[in-house]
Structure 1
Amino acid sequence: MRKFYLIGFALLLLFDTLGQSSFKLTAIHAQPLEANLGWILRVFTQPWVYIAIAGYIGAFFTWMALLKKAPVGPAFAASHLEVVTVMLVSAFLFHEHITAIRIIGAVFIVGGIIFLALAEKEIVQNENRHDDETC
């Protein structure tokens, strides 16, 4: 089961990060932002917009598969690791700066996910002990 979660969340992060990064690339290549047909055509003639859509479709199906088995609280929190992966990819692809405050935020996100996972593990262990005692 652990392997299922690791692969599933890795895929979810990959698809989410691909979607976010591709939308940014679409926005860059469709400049300038204008409310007219020309801008819409620039958006939909960019391959990045279709890669972004594919990323979100992949994320949706991966998320649905994960939710069949994963506890929703920790799973929802873990899905927010995309904030960290998008930050890292943005630094590489778009030369965005990773500031100290962003690093602190990323540490809090990862720490919160770890604490939620540990709490869920403890709850499951306590439920299993309780079930063993009642049998």
Structure 2
Amino acid sequence: MIRNKTDWLHERLGTVVLWALLIGFESAGQIATKVGGDQLGQMDFNLQWLLAVAVNPGVWFAIACYIGAFFVWMLILRRSSLSLAFPLSSLVFVGVLLGSWLGLGEQISVLHWVGVAVIMGGIALLAEGEET
């Protein structure tokens, strides 16, 4: 089969877009869960709490994000080996850290930033060893 010279670019670009979507969905889902939980406050686990969860917009947004992430993850796994894809999914940690810092105003320690650098370095090593 003769492949167009730009096919590899479209495949790479598509993969990058899928990863960006996964990281976005997963990070937004985590942050929305945090916001929804904060909105609910300190409540006992009972029927009133379940009803409050059921009508909380943050919870519904988080659920939508997790559903989106599930379908994107399925598409990623069609393109990638699980042995590479699963470690790459740790980029979500970076997305959540950045989102909680920028969106929620959380304080991030130097040790957290070192952790981000270690994650990024590990991903770079994994990607370097992957066959194309």
TM-score where L is the length of structure 2: 0.87
- Give the counterpart letter for 2:112 in structure 1: R
Larger C-alpha radius of gyration, 1 or 2? Answer: 1
Which 4+ runs in 1 deviate beyond 6 A? none
2:84 equivalent in structure 1 = 74
What is the count of residue pairs matched by the alignment? 122
2:7 equivalent in structure 1 = none
1:4 equivalent in structure 2 = 14
Bigger helix share: 1
Q: Percent identity?
A: 37
Is the counterpart of residue 22 in structure 1 residue 50 in structure 2? Answer: no
- Deviation of the 1:114 alpha carbon: 0.9
1:108 equivalent in structure 2 = 118
Alignment of 1:52-67 (within 5 A): 52-67=62-77
Which string of whole-angstrom CA distances, capped at 9 and with x for unpartnered residues, describes residues 64-108 of structure 1?
Answer: 001011122221111110101101110122211111100010111
Is the counterpart of residue 41 in structure 1 residue 51 in structure 2? Answer: yes
Which string of whole-angstrom CA distances, capped at 9 and with x for unpartnered residues, describes residues 48-67 of structure 1?
Answer: 11110110011110000010
- Give the counterpart letter for 2:30 in structure 1: Q
Q: Decide whether the 8 Å contact of 1:13 with 1:85 is kept in 2.
A: yes
2:6 equivalent in structure 1 = none
CA distance in 1, matches of 2:102, 2:49: 27
